[in-house]
A and B are shown apart, each in its own frame.
Chain A
Amino acid sequence: MYFISTKRCNVSLRAETNVGKEGIMSKSNSAIAVTGKKRAGHHVKDYWQLYLMLLIPVVLTIIYKYIPMYGIQIAFRDYKATRGMFGSEFVGLKWFERFFRAPNCVRMIRNTILLSLFSLLWSFPIPIILALMINQLRFQKFKRTVQTVLYAPHFISTMVVCGMLRVFLSPSGGLINLIAGTQIDFLSEASAFRTIYIASGIWQDAGWGIIVYMATLANIDISHYEAAKIDGASMFQRIRFIDFPELIPQIVLMLIMSAGNLMNVGFEKVFLLQTDLNKATSDVISVYVYQQGIENAKYSYSTAVGLFNTVVNIILLLIVNRLAKKLSEDVSFV
């Protein structure tokens, strides 16, 4: 029920335990013992101040996080504004069935998974390679400059990035077409969509992704490098045998985290780069949820589709976690 923390015994006491623990306190700090009674009186009152601080955040979280969670039930109801989220007619799995019978259902599921899978495969290794390279740079100023430049795109809004992509990919006078000497309208080519999505994603976030790896690399003991040098190891060997093994736990962690997000394809970029002509590859669930829900006001249906997406994601997460556990039993590094 009550406890004493050895580091900060002053605040750990509540009023009713005060007398009993007085002895312990005076041992550790006589000053505390003298004022103990007075402070104990404070604590009861003080906790209220802490609870008061939490009041607004808790209320906001209940209203805007927990009530919507409870409101997911409209996926199983026929939502009518007049009857509200919790009073509309119960319709069971009607909306799920409608989604599975929708003409583009399979295409959307496939596109969602493929887009994030390819995205993961291509974008995951790049920050690691960049971090290993930049870590070997010896002139600190140059190293900082490289880092600063690589971070830049992360600070640009997705909207602006997509605006740039539209300009660059334009068939008449777009940068890419000028360089290649062609006149292709890339955004109406379904086959180009994934490449555009992934390449621009790498441009924007690969630099940002190096931060966590750089932090790990910065902690490597210099003596390892010195020993390796004496043994005549080349730069590549030092990366291969000193730096890379240090990164492995971090890499596994990041991989688990991103694999658990496989169904959470970034809505914003797909939404902004989608055209009627590239839908064969750009039609994904999250955009569909937005269009059905916000644009067409099919609230129940949209919620059901979103819920399906979440459930699949949770299943994937559980699978990945199980795999990760197995991996950590087999290999000692995690």
Chain B
Amino acid sequence: MSLATEAHRWERWAWVLATLPAVAVLGVAFGLPLLQSLVASFVREGRVTLENYAIVARLYGRDVLYTLGVAGAGVTLTFGAGIHLAGYLRLRAWPWVEFLLKVPLFVPFVVTGHAMRVFLQPSGTLALALSAVGLVPSGARLGIGEGWLGLVLALTWKHLALVVLLLVGAFRGVDDSYLEAAQGFGAGILRQIWAVLVPMSATSLALATVLTLTSMLASFSIPLLMSRGSGPQMLMVDLYYRFGQHGDFGVASALGVVSYVMASGAVYAYLRSVAR
């Protein structure tokens, strides 16, 4: 065996040892609970059954659609704003705007939820500001914070910073010559963003979409804080109540598996787009 091959073998083992703690933690903290909850979702009163899923379909079917709808709308709004902001930052380079856009990254989810609750609640900061400038009657109650729209706005605000950060990085990877070529033919900023930057950053865009969608699907603190207690809920809130208040580990596990399948769909779509 040559010295080079021997060195290569030792290097490989060194890497295995270096990654072992991380893999072990992942296995214990994520893999094992996932397996347990997958098994538990098919067990009810000691029997293997699909009853947990039947309960999910009967009691939480609307919440599954609501979660998908809120996450879908949130992702659309986040990327609708994020692509343009990142595009402008790539083409114009405004360091202060870029810094301000990153601020939400450092605000915890719980704080965002509480801030948005105060801001959007019927007689909150937004309602007071709008009535002060005469856009709504004094004492009027705004319903934005109580419904899906408030939740979508809160999730968008929270995720926009990460999306802009990822997209600006991806857009900066596009060589200036591609943009100048378009500009030379008369392409304006919007055309340069949509005809050059977005398609040339498709892989990063798809990854950012998956990250954002899965994060919104799994959002808990913000929906919990903004929840009014009635009407449809995000699935993570349902899961929390099913497990924490009802002690129903079987249905909670089934809810978890449904969430996992929803997120896996996004990951599958991403992997397909990367493989093309």
User: Are A and B a genuine interacting pair, yes or no?
Assistant: no
Please give the residue numbers on chain A whose beta carbons come within 8 Å of chain B beta carbons, in ascending order. Answer: none
Residues of B within 8 A of A (CB): none
